[in-house]
Amino acid sequence: MRLCIFNPEHDLCLAKGRAHYVPPRSAVEFARRDANIMSVLYPDAVCCSVYDNSQFSIFNSQLDEVVAWGWDAVVKHELLKRGIDESLLPLDEEIDTIRELQHRSTVLPLQEDCHEVRSIENMESLLKSREHWVLKAPWSGAGRGLRWVHGQLTPIDRDWLLKTVASQRCVIAEPRRDVVADLALEYYCPFTPSHSLSLPLTPHFIGYSYFKTGSGVYKENVMWPDARIVETFHETSLQQTKAQVEEWLEANIWPRYRGPLGVDLMVCVDGSVHVAEINFRHTMGMVAHERIKNKH
């Protein structure tokens, strides 16, 4: 039996970096209410939130595999508390690797004109060359940890920057771009042989996804098939970016990480395509892609 845990609080847990973090009530309620999202990816599995205590006593002894939306110290700790065999869970070292990879500095080699900022002076120097920036906390999710800077740092910007550098090593400065669409490249990199999809043991491209955001916050996926996405959004630039991403994944990520990941892209008004971030977990884009595939 496979158990799938839906833990949308994962990004918040990674940001905190400790096993005893208590997520916000809204995140816990979302996990409980929509746990069946995982059944789209794993239709033969039992799907629940880690906070659904009544579920665990029923099938603990029957489990062969545990899959999480995303692995972090919190979800592992909660599963152990509920009697899940530790042999079915990632090692602490693997979870530490996932957290380190999720630090936004990991993807900087794929991001043109993006910078690690470690001081007020660093940021003020960047503002001399470009007026509009987006500042991002290296560990953050769901639109949190973002600040838009225009021309100069406000006192609030300065305070936020210094606190973030102290707790997360740096801040990532990204040029403010004229974005017309948000896309993602979805991968398993690599998968475990027991995964429901029969895939080769190499980084495997699952497909594209097209999603809507507002002020950096995910809103919804647009249910377009891959062919329509490629035809609509500057096919040549998109394919060039995809090839660059896959070469980098093979060289830098495949040896260190096992599991799903999504590479978020920004399509700009001039037709250029830029890498925004990588999520080392399942994504709503994967869910949307699977639903579209099943319709056909």
* Tens digit of each residue's pLDDT (9 = 90 or more) over 211-249: 999 877 889 999 999 999 999 998 899 999 999 999 999
CATH no. of 178-295: 3.30.470.20
pLDDT exceeds cutoff 60 at 197 = no
Task: Provide CATH 3.30.1490 ranges for the chain.
Answer: 107-175
Query: pLDDT at position 255, please?
Result: 79
| Token pair recorded at residue 39 | 């059944």
Task: Please give the mean pLDDT across all residues of the chain.
Answer: 91
| The 3-state secondary structure of the chain, one letter per residue | CEEEECCCCHHHHHHHCCCCCCCCHHHHHHHHHCHHHHHHHCCCCEEECCCCHHHHHHHHHHCCEEEECCCCHHHHHHHHHCCCCHHHCCCHHHHHHHHHHHCHHHHHHHCCCCEEECCHHHHHHHHHHCCEEEEECCCCCCCCCEEEEECECCHHHHHHHHHHHHHHCCEEEEECCCEEEEEEEEEECCCCCCCCCCCCCCCEEEEEEEEEEECCEEEEEECCCHHHHHHHCCHHHHHHHHHHHHHHHHHHHCCCCCCEEEEEEEEECCCCEEEEEEECCCCHHHHHHHHHHHHC
| Token pair recorded at residue 24 | 């916000």
Query: pLDDT at position 202, please?
Result: 65
Q: What is the dihedral of CA 123, 126, 130, 131, to 10 degrees?
A: 20
**Higher per-residue confidence, 268 vs 195:** 268
Average pLDDT value for residue range 144-173: 95
Query: pLDDT at position 53, please?
Result: 76
Give 111-138 pLDDT, tens digit per residue. Answer: 999 999 999 999 999 999 999 999 999 9
- Asked if 191 and 261 touch (Cβ cutoff 8 Å), the reply is no
**Residues of the chain above pLDDT 70, percent:** 92
* φ, ψ for residue 237, nearest 5 deg: -65, -40
pLDDT exceeds cutoff 70 at 195 = no
Cβ contacts of 63 within 8 Å, gap of 6 or more: 1, 2, 3, 84, 85, 88
Task: Please state, in angstroms and rounded to a whole number, the distance separating the CA atoms of residues 296 and 294.
Answer: 5
Task: Please state, in angstroms and rounded to a whole number, the distance separating the CA atoms of residues 203 and 191.
Answer: 8
pLDDT exceeds cutoff 50 at 196 = no
- Asked if 186 and 279 touch (Cβ cutoff 8 Å), the reply is no
User: pLDDT category, 52, cuts 50, 70, 90?
Assistant: confident
Task: Provide CATH 3.30.470.20 ranges for the chain.
Answer: 178-295
CATH no. of 107-175: 3.30.1490
230 burial class (0-12, 13-18, 19+ CB within 10 angstroms)? middle
User: pLDDT category, 144, cuts 50, 70, 90?
Assistant: confident
Tell me which amino acid residue 52 is: D
Q: How far is CA 164 from CA 13, 15, 138, 289, in A?
A: 16, 11, 8, 35
| Token pair recorded at residue 18 | 């400790």
**Residues of the chain above pLDDT 90, percent:** 78
CB count within 10 Å of CB 63 equals 16
**Higher per-residue confidence, 59 vs 263:** 263
Query: pLDDT at position 294, please?
Result: 83
Query: pLDDT at position 191, please?
Result: 47
Query: pLDDT at position 60, please?
Result: 64
User: pLDDT category, 142, cuts 50, 70, 90?
Assistant: low
pLDDT exceeds cutoff 80 at 193 = no
Tell me the β-bridge partners of 135. Answer: 147, 173
Average pLDDT value for residue range 26-35: 93
Query: pLDDT at position 59, please?
Result: 63
